[in-house]
Amino acid sequence: MADRSPKGARNGYRGDGGGVDRTPAYAFIAERLRRGIASGGLPEGAVLLEGHIASIFRSSRSPVKRALARLEAEGLLSRFDGRGLLVGQRDAPRRLKITSDMLGLDAEAALPPKPFAWQSLYYDFEREVILRSVFGRFRVNELALARHFDVGRTVARDLLIHAQQVGIVTKGEKSHWWLIPLDEARFRDLYELRILLEPAALETAVGAIPPTVVAGMVARLQAGVDCSGDADVAELDVLESDLHIDCLAYGGNREITEALKRTRCILVSGKHFQVALQRQPYFDSFPQEHLEVLQAVARRDVAAATHLLRAHLRASSEKAAERLAAFRATHAVSPTSYFV
């Protein structure tokens, strides 16, 4: 099958919105620098140069440039009349030698974490599962899955376990793995559950989420809105999970948080339908809608935040139903070796 996955699908993919750590290099570098600034390891006025930071992280300059731009957007870095960026808003630069120790890094921590074997395969597997699930219930043959990807049974099982966490496969009778059908009725029911529960979770999360965390989410969304056509799957997954998973996790009701895990499948399915339908941009208007919600959260405006979230979910529900209908009308079941 030809690879029609959007840019970045294989690099930095966070398939379940949190359980799969496929952090893009620039996001990893930005987070390490952010921690260094917060801890005081990188003092006010320190000058950060792309080339030197790249050497610390053993990276190319491109992800460093993006990381620095993100921190500048968050207000953690500022420009001055010289090369590089300043930590904070200090007028006079301090030309210190930036070391890995200042970032709290050892030799291994300076590198983005290596992915597990299953992670590089997960996007393709998740896509096939979701696109097949709209046509009914099928069994997944674990041995055939391993052979399809030319991996061992352990890696195939890891793929299935993580798909189970997202709610797109389940283990049934005789320990067989099955796709969970994703038809119009299930889409509608899961969106109704989200519309009921997500605003309730957000209502208690607004007062609990730290301002610095919200500021980071707002900055990421603003960057996503500004570079809409260039965003990749990794970034879009982060933007989705910022609001619908990470922000809501600050809510005070653990039962609501657990119940919402049942809806993860529709959180990740939209991009797969859009790719299959060859629609661009892949994310439509959701970053702008998320941005408005989180700006209200930053203001601690509970009423506005919950109202905007409900409106966003209702709009998303309508778009999801349209995509599902369009996909079913234009596609048929195609042979796949590991579906029975």
Select from 299, 101, 89 the least CA-distant residue to 209.
Answer: 299
Position 216 confidence tier, pLDDT thresholds 50, 70, 90 = confident
DSSP β-bridge partners for residue 48: 85
pLDDT above 70 (res 59): yes
44-55 average pLDDT score: 89
Query: Domain 25-87 falls in which CATH fold?
Result: Arc Repressor Mutant, subunit A (1.10.10)
Higher pLDDT, 14 or 324: 324
Radius of gyration (C-alpha) of the chain in whole angstroms: 21
Of 103-112, 140-149, 211-220, 284-293, which one has max mean pLDDT?
140-149
Between CA 114 and CA 117, with CA 116 as vertex, the angle to 5 degrees is 120
Q: Which burial class, exposed, middle or buried, applies to 165 when counting CB atoms under 10 A from its CB (0-12, 13-18, 19+)?
A: middle
290-309 average pLDDT score: 97
Q: Which burial class, exposed, middle or buried, applies to 81 when counting CB atoms under 10 A from its CB (0-12, 13-18, 19+)?
A: exposed
DSSP β-bridge partners for residue 339: 140
pLDDT at residue number 228: 58
Position 297 confidence tier, pLDDT thresholds 50, 70, 90 = very high
Give the number of residues written for the chain: 340
What percentage of the chain reaches a pLDDT higher than 70? 86
pLDDT at residue number 5: 37
Q: Which burial class, exposed, middle or buried, applies to 121 when counting CB atoms under 10 A from its CB (0-12, 13-18, 19+)?
A: buried
The 10s digit of each residue's pLDDT in 80-123 is: 888 889 998 877 788 888 888 888 776 555 555 556 678 888 88
DSSP β-bridge partners for residue 87: 77
The 10s digit of each residue's pLDDT in 198-210 is: 999 999 999 999 9
Domain ranges of the chain: 25-87, 184-330
Sheet holding 169-171, edge to edge: 139-140, 177-179, 169-171
pLDDT at residue number 198: 98
Answer yes or no: are the C-beta atoms of 195 and 317 closer than 8 Å.
yes
Position 6 confidence tier, pLDDT thresholds 50, 70, 90 = very low
Cα separation, 177 vs 220, in Å, equals: 37
Select from 72, 63, 319 the least CA-distant residue to 191.
Answer: 319
Position 191 confidence tier, pLDDT thresholds 50, 70, 90 = very high
User: CB neighbours of 223 closer than 8 A, spacing ≥ 6?
Assistant: 69, 70, 73
- Which range is least confidently modeled, 33-37, 116-120, 210-214? 116-120
Q: Is 270 left (phi over 0), alpha (psi -120 to 50) or beta?
A: alpha
Q: State the distance between the two ends of the chain, measured CA to CA, in whole angstroms.
A: 18
Answer yes or no: are the C-beta atoms of 202 and 209 closer than 8 Å.
no
Answer yes or no: are the C-beta atoms of 249 and 257 closer than 8 Å.
yes
Cα separation, 338 vs 67, in Å, equals: 40
pLDDT at residue number 16: 40
40-66 average pLDDT score: 85
Q: Dihedral sign, CA of 179, 183, 187, 193?
A: negative
Q: Dihedral sign, CA of 246, 281, 118, 220?
A: negative
pLDDT at residue number 10: 34
CATH of domain 184-330: 1.20.120.530
pLDDT at residue number 1: 38
pLDDT above 70 (res 176): yes
